[in-house]
Structure 1
Amino acid sequence: MSRPFLTAHWRNLCNLTYAVPPERLEPLCPAGVDLEVRDGESYVSLVGFDFDDTRVLGVPWPGYRAFPELNLRFYVRHEGERGVVFVREFVPKRLVAWMARTLYDEPYRRAPMASDRRVESDRLTYSLGVTYGGRRHTVRVSTANRSPSVPAEDTDAHFFKEHTWGFGTNRRGRTLRYRVEHPTWAVYDLDSVRIDVDYAALYGDEWAFLNDAEPVHTLFAKGSEVAVYPPETL
C-alpha cells in the first residue's frame, strides 16, 4: 500500500537516551532483527512529543487531531536498515491506543497526559507529564536559544533521531515492520533538562535501574510532518 495510513505533524520531540548493556535488550528484539550496538553499548530512549493535525487515511477525526505521546524505545537494524522497537507507548486517547494495538500490534496504553510549550524572547520551554502507576511523571527541557539547526550525519543527535522503520511482533509471533517518513529534523541547543520519572512504574520493574542512571545524550527537535505506512510482515 503506497498511501500512508497516518499523517501528522510531530512537534517538540524530546529524546533522553541511556546506555544499556546489550544483554538486557537482545531478548526483546523481534525475530530476524538485530540489536544495534555502538562501542559495546546499546541504547534506550525516553521520547516525548506532540501529535498535531493527525489524519487517518487523509481524514481528520474531531477530538483526535492533537495529543501528546511518551514512549520508551531501543535501536535495531534489519538488513542494513535502521529502526526502533518500542517497549511501551502512552497516549491520552483510548481510541488511539486501541487502534495502534489492533492494527500495528504496538504496546500502547492510555493514561492521562498533558504537554506545554512556552515561547520566551530567547528560549523555548517544553514539558510533558503522564499520570500512571499511582504518580505523575514529568519531563521538562529548556533551550538555550530559539534557532534550531540540523546536526551533521556523524553526530549522536543524528543517530538517535533519524531512523526509518518501526519493528514489532504480532499476535502470531511474526515480525512486523512499518515505514515512517519525515525530513531530517533540526534540533535546539539545550540549557536544562529535568526528569522526574519512575521507570519501574511506567515500564516494569526490570527498568528500575534507569531511575538511578544519567542520560548519555539529550536532544530536543523541532519536528515536521510525518507519514506512517501500513505494517507488513517480514
Structure 2
Amino acid sequence: MRPFLTAEWRYLVMLNYEVDPEVLRPLVPRDTELDTWQGRTFASMVGFRFLDTRVRGLPVPFHRNFDEVNLRFYVRHLGPEGWRRGVVFVKEIVPRQAIATVARVLYNEPYVALPMRHVVEMEGAHTGAPGRVEYAWKAGGKWQHLAATTLGPPQASEPGSAAEFITEHYWGYTAQRDGGCAEYRVEHPRWSVWQVDTTALEIDVEGMYGARFVPFLRGKPSSAFVADGSAVAVYPGTRTGSGASQSPASEKPRAA
C-alpha cells in the first residue's frame, strides 16, 4: 500500500508523566485498551519538527516544514497478527490553520492552530556536546513551552526500557463521532535517544488540557529524553472492529 503522507520527524522532546488510568479511560477509543509499562500508565508531552511534508509524494505548498506539540497516551489493539501498540492524542497544536481545520472538521482530530516557534541547538550533540531543544506556542496571550537539554551522544533505546516503550508505537487510534475507531499505521526505523540534563514544561495545563491533567503535568516527569527522529511514512486509515465495514475515517496524517 502506498503511504498517504511522508515526512521527517526530527528532534522529538518527550516528557513522560505517570497518570491515573481512570483519567485516561474515558478517552480510550473503542476496540483499544490502555497500554502500560511495568504496570504504569503514561501520558507524554511531545514537541518536534515536521519537515519535508509530502502528500501522495507531492510537497504541500506553505505546509512543508512546521512544528507540532501534542499530548498523547498509549493504547493497544488486537489485530490479526497480535497486539498493535499505538497512541491516542488528547490535543495536537500546529501553527497552520488549514491543517487544524481539515483534521478537526473532517476527521474528528483534536487539532488547534496557534502561533508557534522553536529553538533547536543540536550542533555537535551527535558526538556528545550539550544540546537544547524548545518548542513554544502562544495561547491566551501568553507563550507556553516545553524544552530539554541533552547529555552525551544519542544511544539506541534499551530493550524493555521506558524509552523503548514511548518511542516504539507504530499505530495511531482516533475515536470517531459515531463511536467507532479509526487506526493508522506509521512506519519508521527505530530511533536513538539522548538522555536529558534538564527539562521544562511551562503551560496552562487546565486551559489546554482540562483540570483532570493538572495533578500530573504540573509534577516532575517520570522520564524524559530527546529522540533523533527519522523519515516516516503514514498509511491510509481504516476502521477497527465492529466499524470495519464502514468507510474509513479517511486518509489523514498522524503525528508522533
| TM bucket, shorter chain | over 0.9
Name the stretch that deviates more: 132-141 or 163-172.
Answer: 132-141
Structure 2 match to 1:9: 8
Deviation at 1:102, TM superposition (A): 4.4
The residue that corresponds to 2:247 in the other structure is none
Please tell me whether residue 70 in structure 1 is matched to residue 69 in structure 2: yes
Is 1:231 the counterpart of 2:237 in the alignment?
A: yes
Q: 1:189 aligns to what SS in structure 2?
A: strand
TM-aligned CA distance change 1:119 to 1:163, over 3 Å? closer
The counterpart of 1:130, out of the listed 124, 137, 140, is 137
Q: Which runs of 5+ in 1 are unaligned?
A: none
User: Normalization by structure 1: what TM-score?
Assistant: 0.94
Whole-angstrom distance in 2 between the partners of 1:180 and 1:224: 12
Is 1:215 matched with 2:214? no
Say whether residues 1:61 and 2:56 are aligned partners. no
Match of 2:115 in 1: 112
Name the structure 2 match of 1:99.
102
2: CA distance, partners of 1:20 / 1:40: 12
Partner SS state of residue 163, structure 1: coil
Match of 1:163 among 143, 163, 169: 169
Post-superposition offset of 1:106: 1.6
Partners of 2:17 and 2:217 within 8 A in 1: no
Show the counterpart of 1:27.
26
Quick one: structure 1 residues 39 and 61, their matched pair in 2 at CA, closer, same or farther if it must change by over 3 Å?
A: closer
Deviates more, 1:199-208 or 1:94-103: 94-103
- Specify whether residues 103 and 56 from structure 1 end up closer, same or farther in structure 2 by C-alpha distance, changes over 3 A only: farther
Q: Deviations over 1:210-232 (max 9, x none)?
A: 34321101010111000111111
Report if the CA contact (8 A) 1:97-1:109 is conserved.
yes
User: Structure 1 195/26 Cα, relative in aligned 2: closer, same or farther at 3 Å?
Assistant: same
Query: Aligned partners of 1:124, 1:104: CA distance in 2, in Å?
Result: 37
Please report the RMSD computed on the Cα atoms of aligned residues, expressed in angstroms.
Answer: 1.5
Q: Which one of the candidate residues 175, 184, 189 is aligned to 1:178?
A: 184
Say if 2:19 and 2:216, in contact at 8 Å, map to a contact too: no
Cα distance, 1:46 vs structure 2: 0.5
Shift of 1:197: 1.7
The verdict on how the C-alpha distance between 1:21 and 1:211 changes in structure 2, with shifts beyond 3 A counting, is closer
* 1:39 to partner: Cα distance: 4.3
How many residues align? The count is 232
Please tell me whether the aligned partners of residues 22 and 37 of structure 1 are also in contact (alpha carbons under 8 angstroms): no
**Which residue identity does 2:154 align to in structure 1?**
P
The answer as to whether partners of 1:72 and 1:89 remain within 8 angstroms in 2 is yes
Partners of 1:27 and 1:37 in 2: CA distance: 16
Cα separation, 1, equivalents of 2:107 and 2:62: 21
Counterparts of 1:119 and 1:89, CA distance in 2: 24
1:153 CA displacement? 2.0
Q: CA deviation at 1:103?
A: 5.0
Instruction: Indicate conservation of the 8 Å contact 1:198/1:211, yes or no.
Output: no
What is the identity percentage for the equivalent residue pairs of Structure 1 and Structure 2? 41
Partner of 1:142: 149
Cα shift at 1:149: 1.5
Task: Could you tell me which runs of 5 or more consecutive residues in structure 2 were left unpaired when the two chains were aligned.
Answer: 241-256
Task: Write the letter of the residue equivalent to 1:34.
Answer: E
Instruction: Answer yes or no: is the 8 Å Cα contact 1:190–1:219 preserved in 2.
Output: yes
> In structure 2, what is the Cα distance between the partners aligned to 1:36 and 1:179?
17
In the TM superposition, what is the alpha-carbon distance from 1:134 to its structure 2 partner? 3.6
CA contact (8 A) 2:17 2:221 kept: yes
